[in-house]
Structure 1
Amino acid sequence: MLVYSGVDPVTGKDVYLTESTRDEKKVEEIRTRLLAKVDKQRNAATKATLAYTLEAWLEVHEADESTRDDYRRLIERNIVPAIGDVPISKIGTRVLEQFYAQLRRCRLRCNGKPYIEHREPGPHDCRVVQHRRKPGRPTAKTLAEHDCGQMQCKVIECRAHVCKPLAAGSVRKIHFVISGALAAATRWEWIESNPATDAKKPKQAAPQPKPPTSDEAARIVAASWEQDAGWGMFIWLKMVTGARRGELLALRWHDVHLDQGVLEIRRNFTQRSGKAREKDTKTHQMRRNSLDSDTVDLLREHRARTQEQIERLGLKFDDAGFVFSYEPDHSRPCNPDGISHRYARMCAELGITSHLHTLRHYSATELITSGVDIRTVAGRLGHGGGGTTTLRVYAAWVADSDRAAASILANKMVRPAPQPGPSSEGSEAT
């Protein structure tokens, strides 16, 4: 039996509810049930759209400001333009799965037909040349002799659309946002159940960390110290602690306990769209990382240099100052993106393919392959779940460590002497 249910909000096609039976006596019962379901969709308790529900959810959802900004960016860029006007009573599991599939094919959700992506709405020239000419007032002669290729004039033009799938991780984030909003709508009794609960989302790609080799790490550290001592100290500490970029930038001198050889990681520093923020660590927990004697000595020297530079300017050294800063009084941490760009430039000059986060992978893999247990590694890195995340990300290196452990145990045991085989007489007797 087919019952018309309306128009699909994603595809624009007619939707029918279906149910089959071989018992003629149940036909009327099925028809009544399907019509009731259609009527329930058309006359829901609320007419709230998904866009309205998302906005209401953001008002009550507990998250730090940068996370909320990420959610709002996904909502405005991907969710609202596609299904924001759809009433939440019309959103089902099938609608969500179709939406996710479209995003995985093309982030602009094109229909597969070729078209031109215009850089601006309204009438405009699709191809514009921004001429670069020699300094001075242009004359008819200089304009006539102008060579766009020689002057490297910039050409701006509207180009044909090329489908770019949205990454699986981004679609999973979109699913989390929609699911959270619809869960809130369920609690508020706007809808009876959350359709996102059963919706199939893209699989999470297996992590494939690619840390620098030991030789590359040694070259990176040497190059950083050659640039300047402060930069060298940052790269050294990033390697030996495996801390996140923002966690090291948020360090203040009162977090560094040199007498105890302990580093307290309590905060994270971020800067986006010109907004600088200090917030909790990713797991919202502080941790204490032990430091080796060499690192303690280097930090003592770094502190002494910092104190001398500040006092030379007639300022007073303060333990509340940041450990890594470009400000004369160390009152503000370094820009996170600037740090990442500097590291990328340095590695490019060395001919090494690496980005700053790989030093975190380097620290983890070196510890694991050296036999340090997963829980300890997870604690130093600040992973949640008691080591579950660490094991998932670094499973390949855990296998290497397990093979090394097998060799260690075997080498501690005395191998038995070769046993003689069965004698020839015994063989003949058999």
Structure 2
Amino acid sequence: MNIQEIHKQFLESSGVSTDTRKIKKDSLFFALKGENFNGNSFAQEALNKGAKLAVVDESEYATTDRIILVKDVLKTLQELAYTHRKYLNIPIVALTGSNGKTTTKELINAVLSKKFKTVATQGNLNNHIGVPLTLLSMSSDTELGIVEMGANHQGEIQSLCEIATPDYGYITNFGKAHLEGFGGVEGVIKGKSELYLHLIGHKGSLILNLDDPIQHKRVGSTHTYTFGKIPEADLAITYALAEPFAHIKFGDTIVESNLIGQYNEVNLAAAAAFGSLFKIESSAIKEALESYIPSNNRSQLIKNKNQTIILDAYNANPSSMEAALRNLATTHSSYRLAILGDMFELGEAAAAEHQFIANLAEQFNIDQIILVGANFSKTQNEALCFKSTEELLEKGLPEAVQSKLSDATTLVKGSRGMALERILNLLEIK
């Protein structure tokens, strides 16, 4: 069965399933493989649970005419996504970057959905499997797609672009994320810029932050729609942090968001630029941005009388950690507490980058610093250190810190694997 025939079956199905625990009736089951599982062995189970067809790449599992044998299930899934994207023939917006991808994607979706029937990446399904699944979740009713692209090594964004073939693109920033896979900051810049190169080669358009000199330098001659503090930008933006929430202004429109921190101003501005590019009324852009509430441990604001907790435990790298610390230092609070967890995927730079953040935290106007994790525990500092989240949970906060929580502003930030949201009970006022 060729890809066109599989696509015909897909159009008559309820969608794609990859997990037999979540089988949709009349779906196509793709038997993907992982380090610890072989999806081929679940093909018959998928059919028993209601799947219409199953796609496998090992002949011993192709036991019925409802099981399609292909050379490579993952590649077939990607080819199906590409075929479906071409079949729909709708505008696709792609975005990548080191920090702020998911928040910016959610903001762009909130704005563009004011005018279009949109489908956007769910959560952070932004890799070689997530991008195809996002494209395959779009239907004939979809008018515009928004695809987040993540990467931890060079060549990955290029591969994702070949599947999604975006018409519009945006890179949030180039920062110190996934240094191990990219081989340093220059590798990050080169890898993320693969989105720009794709757009240039396919005569697409990119949204460009004129306030970012690195991006400005790498764009070249491709078509751009610009935003920034420069009056010559297509959408001139005024940034005006109104603690604790980020505000922006464009034209006569002031956006008062529910997002914490100055670093979120650019994310708001990018979404406003997309709205302006797609000719959405300023009032609708304002409504969309102001109604967005962050969730999933991303810059969540938790208030309890005079206590404020900024929970940002979904992801962390040196660039986002520095931005969060700078924001904490500017808050008007009688007691500032930073609880910082290890940053992952830094490779050989791990020791130096953790020491850099430990030094930076001590330079800022922060009353108490608590460092958590194997890497932070090895740094030279005057902070309280715990080797793991489990050790912090077991030992608890010192009484001197506990007594200040009622009037504190507390930043909780670390990589996903640290699961620092588990310590929230330690921050309850006794």
Q: Same fold judged by TM-score > 0.5?
A: no
Structure having the higher helix fraction is 1
TM-score by length of 1: 0.23
Comparing both structures, which one devotes a greater share of its residues to strand?
Answer: 2
